[in-house]
Amino acid sequence: MKKDMHIHVHHVTRVEGHGNITVDVKNGKVEKCEWAVPESPRFFEAMVRGRHYSEVARITSRICGICSVGHTLASVKASEAALGIEVTAQTKKLRRLLKHAENFDSHVLHVYILVAPDLLGVKSVFPLVATHGEVVKRALRLKRLGHEWGSLIGGRTTHPTTVLPGGFSKVPTVKELQELKEKMVAAVPDLVETLNTVEALAPKVPAFSRPTEYIAVASREEYGLYDGEVSCLLPDGNRKVYPASEYRKVTNEYVVAQSTAKYAKHRLDSYAAGALARFNNNYEMLHPEAKKVAARFGLKPICTNPYMNSVAQVIEVVNDVYCSIGIIDDLLSSGIKDEALVKPTKYSKGASAVEVPRGILFHEYEYDRDGMCVAGNCIIPTNQNHANIQRDFDKLLPELLDANKSEKEIELAMEMLVRAYDPCISCSTHYVDVKFVNR
Amino acid sequence: MAPFFTFMKYLIGIGNYSMYDDSVGLRLIEHIHTHHLENDSKFRAIEIGGNLLNLLTYFNEETDAILFVDAGRIEGLSPGEYLLFTPNEVDTTKELKNISTHEGDLMKVIELARTTGYKIPEIRVMGIAPLEVKNGIGLSPLLTAHLHHYARTAIDAIVQFG
């Protein structure tokens, strides 16, 4: 029977920021199927103008409360490119360690707190305290590890203070690194249980496929997170690689009427960024323990099911821990020491690419001869994913209608798809809102 | 294994730096650091932005007391006024569907910690009524004018507390 349907999800929940879904179906025909972002612009690129290079990362870190490590690293790397600064090997190792901390922390939050409720049939994490108390406790233990890990290296996890252009203002001691490694090793049983939980829930991940282009940082030195080239992988395996300085050839941003956020495209009419894009581009560079997890979940590159982004995040969580244990061992064997900040050798223009949990992030700045910023550009991964989410919707909705799914089932499937991308649409507010009951 | 965070008392600022008066908790901590008001033998002043689940890191055997500073819509308070209260004195009226960095509530995080067996230290909250919560870096002139007083009040409270 041809049916009518109207779905309007105002502010999809369990995503970071605000996005709306609208679906109109008349007599079985799709009249509207739209992913819209109503957030207002935040003008960070204007805020950095006229600021000294030493201040810029402090400002742009505030773009995001979850990806603040990534924004800080992208910012200092772009500034260093503009200022002719080559940081030391120790700085690179510590930054990689910090980048893994952010990835771990964010993925634990997303998989356990934002995605798991969908797969367990509840609206939020709160009901799970009663029904799956041990799972929630485990999530909070792992979250705590991520916080301690990031705080040790970055001074604090949210908006790190120790990361500066040219190096670190403070480095951890040998004892602190040894203790951090002990905490990571002690977390392995929780990781094993995480995998068991995800394996039990994996059959509930929707089966859907839409090949697209997958864009991520890629490197022969590491599973691309902190540094590398921009790798653009088509579903047939064709790969095109750019230096970070040519990022505009990749993003090709454009404006659409339905969204205040810009869209992006490269060789196809949209592309995907995020854990699945990283997995597809960097599979060979995964730690062997993470590869075992991928095999256990049957995930192989090139995976074209966007819902599997959450599974790719779990693989990355394991990768983060094992790679970081290796980095700590390396730091301990080479000896960690205080180093002076590397000074600028020029004042010009520079760009960087860093992976944040939600995908590839670009920063670019230009400095005058006094080291003051005259221009900035930041392109966040969630913006790069908006067009891809829309294209997924365009394919998914007819398939769901053909399968005679109910309005509620369709709504859930579309919300889950948005959540799978782990979008971080913009920051909102957190004020307390209370009334007195016992005073 | 010892936790990394071993101060006995914490003054913790919460908020969103780019949402104007919602950032008052963060700016109070900045003010303390900038003016060297932190007496590190007695407490540590930190800010955690909106990453409220990170609060659980400080809920451990080592922590005696925490004073949270946050912007708050609190009945009876005019913009710029503040109140110190304990979590059991209030009931949150904030509608919340889950917890994330963008959807959080201090009271619900404390409740989550309580129900999952965390050791809850003595907690007080300093709620400062915002004049305006909107997109924008900065603080309203009203709150800016009182920032030093807020900081002194918070310091006195955490030093005497716990």
Indicate the average pLDDT of chain A. 90
* Separation CA A46–CA A26 (nearest Å): 45
Say which of A62, A124, A147 has its CB closest to residue B98: A124
pLDDT at site A434:
46
In a domain, B4, yes or no: no
* Separation CA A402–CA A404 (nearest Å): 5
The string of pLDDT tens digits covering residues B83-108 is: 999 888 766 655 555 544 445 578 88
Q: Do A429 and B133 touch (CB under 8 A)?
A: yes
* Separation CA B145–CA B3 (nearest Å): 38
pLDDT at site B115:
87
Q: Do B98 and A117 touch (CB under 8 A)?
A: yes
Lowest-confidence segment of A124-138, A419-433, B6-20 by average pLDDT: A419-433
In a domain, B50, yes or no: yes
Q: Determine the structural domain holding residue B86 and report its residue range.
A: 9-156
In a domain, B161, yes or no: no
* Separation CA A203–CA A201 (nearest Å): 6
Q: Do B115 and A129 touch (CB under 8 A)?
A: yes
Say which of A137, A179, A183 has its CB closest to residue B117: A137
Residue of A49, A107, A418, A432 to mutate for B, most B C-beta atoms under 10 A: A432
User: Nearest CA of chain A to the CA of B15: how many Å?
Assistant: 6
Chain A residues whose CB is inside 8 A of the B75 CB are 434-436
User: How many CB pairs below 8 A link A and B?
Assistant: 182
Greater confidence (A237 vs B112) lies with: A237
Domains and CATH numbers, chain A: 46-244+261-377 (1.10.645.10)
Structure tokens given for B43:
């407490």
Give the best-scoring range by mean pLDDT among A32-46, A55-69, B110-124: B110-124
Q: In 3-state terms, what secondary structure has residue B68?
A: strand
Within the 114-133 window of chain A, which residues sit less than 8 Å (CB to CB) from chain B?
Answer: 114, 117, 123-126, 129, 133
* Separation CA B115–CA A403 (nearest Å): 41
- Average of per-residue pLDDT across A263-291: 97
Count of structural domains within chain B: 1
In a domain, B1, yes or no: no
Q: Provide the whole-model pTM.
A: 0.87
The string of pLDDT tens digits covering residues B65-82 is: 999 999 988 888 999 999
Say which of B19, B88, B116 has its CB closest to residue A140: B116
Q: In 3-state terms, what secondary structure has residue B97?
A: coil
Dihedral angle over CA of B128, B130, B135, B139, nearest 10: -80
pLDDT at site A121:
82
Say which of B51, B75, B105 has its CB closest to residue A436: B75
In a domain, B2, yes or no: no
Residue B118 sits in a domain whose CATH number is 3.40.50.1450
In a domain, B21, yes or no: yes
Q: Do B73 and A186 touch (CB under 8 A)?
A: no
The string of pLDDT tens digits covering residues A336-371 is: 999 999 999 999 999 999 999 999 999 999 999 999
In a domain, B86, yes or no: yes
Dihedral angle over CA of A291, A295, A297, A298, nearest 10: 130
pLDDT at site A435:
52
The string of pLDDT tens digits covering residues A72-114 is: 999 999 999 999 999 999 999 999 999 999 999 999 988 998 8
pLDDT at site B131:
96
Chain A contact for B92 (CB, 8 A cutoff): yes
Q: Do B137 and A434 touch (CB under 8 A)?
A: no
